[in-house]
Amino acid sequence: MSFPFSGTSLRLPAGFQNLLEGLALEVLRAQPTDVAAFAAQHFQTLLEQRE
């Protein structure tokens, strides 16, 4: 998937859309007051699960 941006075409890296969709779903489920801290913890958990 690519998007026009100031005359350039940007391509999403493989897996990026799924990563953001997963975060969006978790944010909607949890309704955190601090979305940035929640996202940091979410991605930290994903990294730990991957190792």
Tell me the domain boundaries of the chain.
Answer: 15-50
Reported as type and span, the H/E element at residue 16 is helix 16-30
Name the residue type at position 16: F
What is the pLDDT at residue 17? 93
What is the pLDDT at residue 34? 98
Name the residue type at position 5: F
pLDDT digits (tens, 9 = 90+) for 5-51: 667 777 889 999 999 999 999 999 999 999 999 999 999 999 999 88
E strands along 1-51, which residues?
2-5, 8-11
What is the pLDDT at residue 2? 61
Q: What is the CATH number that goes with domain 15-50?
A: 1.20.890
Tell me the pTM: 0.76
What is the pLDDT at residue 40? 98
